[in-house]
C-alpha cells in the first residue's frame, strides 16, 4: 500500500470524523474520496489490520490514535505550505490547496519545522483552518459553526472556509467574502435554503452548497 494513499485515507477519515461524529460510514468516505465502496472497504480492512483505524463491516470506521497522529501531521504540512506559498510567493488563496496537496506527502520533518519557524508558528492557515503543532496539538480552539446555522438579522465574521474547491474560493473572492469579513444575514429563502447576505453594503445570494462550506462567528 502506497504511503500517499494511506495518508490521504487517514486525513479524509480524520476530517470527516471531526465533522460527522466519532464514527463514519464507508459510503461517506467513498463520496469524499470519489472512489467505490468496495475500494474503501478493502483499504479500511488494511488500515484496521495495521492499527490505524477500527473498522468492522456495516459498523463504520473509527480512527485510532495511531491514525490520528499521521493525519494531523499531514494536515500540519498541508496548512503550513498553503500559508508559505501565499506569504512568500504571493499566490492567491484559491491556488494553494492543490499545490499543498502534492507537497504535503514529500516534505521532510526537518523542512516543515523550518517553515513553521520561518512563519513564526502560525495558528491558522489562509482559509482559517487551525494548524497542528509538531506534537499534533492545535494552537487555536475552533469555536465557529456552519453558516447554515446562522440567524436572520444577525451579523457574523467569516472565520473559516473549505479550501477543497478552487471555484468556490474564486467566487468568494469575487464577492469580497474573505476571512474576518463582516456579513449580515438579511433573509433565508425557505424553498432552497439559500441566504441573502450583505457585504460592504452590497447584497448577495448564497446557495445552500456554498453556505455548507463557510464557517462563522457571531459578532456581539
pLDDT of amino acid 4: 58
Residue 190: which pLDDT band, with cuts at 50, 70 and 90? confident
Residue 204: which pLDDT band, with cuts at 50, 70 and 90? very high
CA distance 153 to 175: 20
Answer yes or no: is pLDDT of 55 > 90.
yes
Domains (ranges, CATH) in the chain? 3-63 (1.10.10.10), 71-141 (1.10.10.10), 145-218 (2.30.30.90)
CA distance 6 to 74: 11
Distances from the Cα of 31 to the Cαs of 40, 70, 90, 118, 135, in angstroms?
10, 22, 33, 37, 30
pLDDT of amino acid 164: 80
Global confidence as pTM: 0.87
Name residue, grid cell 474503501.
40
CA distance 190 to 201: 23
pLDDT of amino acid 1: 42
Amino acid at each position: 500500500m502506497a504511503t500517499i494513499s494511506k495518508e490521504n485515507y487517514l486525513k479524509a477519515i480524520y476530517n470527516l470524523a471531526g465533522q460527522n461524529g466519532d464514527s463514519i460510514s464507508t459510503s461517506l468516505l467513498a463520496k469524499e474520496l470519489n472512489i467505490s465502496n468496495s475500494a474503501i472497504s478493502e483499504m479500511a480492512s488494511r488500515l484496521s489490520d495495521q492499527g490505524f483505524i477500527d473498522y468492522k463491516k456495516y459498523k463504520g470506521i473509527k480512527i485510532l490514535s495511531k491514525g490520528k497522529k499521521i493525519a494531523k501531521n499531514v494536515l500540519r504540512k498541508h496548512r503550513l505550505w498553503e500559508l508559505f506559498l501565499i506569504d512568500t510567493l504571493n499566490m492567491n488563496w484559491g491556488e494553494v490547496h492543490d499545490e499543498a496537496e502534492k507537497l504535503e506527502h514529500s516534505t521532510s520533518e526537518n523542512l516543515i519545522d523550518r517553515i513553521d519557524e520561518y512563519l513564526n508558528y502560525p495558528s491558522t492557515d489562509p482559509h482559517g483552518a487551525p494548524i497542528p503543532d509538531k506534537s499534533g496539538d492545535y494552537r487555536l480552539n475552533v469555536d465557529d459553526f456552519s453558516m447554515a446555522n446562522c440567524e436572520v438579522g444577525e451579523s457574523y465574521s467569516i472565520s473559516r472556509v473549505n479550501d477543497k474547491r478552487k471555484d468556490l474560493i474564486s467566487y468568494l473572492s469575487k464577492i469580497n467574502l474573505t476571512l474576518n469579513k463582516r456579513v449580515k444575514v438579511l433573509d433565508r429563502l425557505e424553498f432552497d435554503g439559500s441566504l441573502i447576505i450583505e457585504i460592504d453594503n452590497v447584497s448577495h445570494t448564497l446557495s445552500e452548497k456554498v453556505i455548507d462550506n463557510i464557517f462563522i462567528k457571531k459578532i456581539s
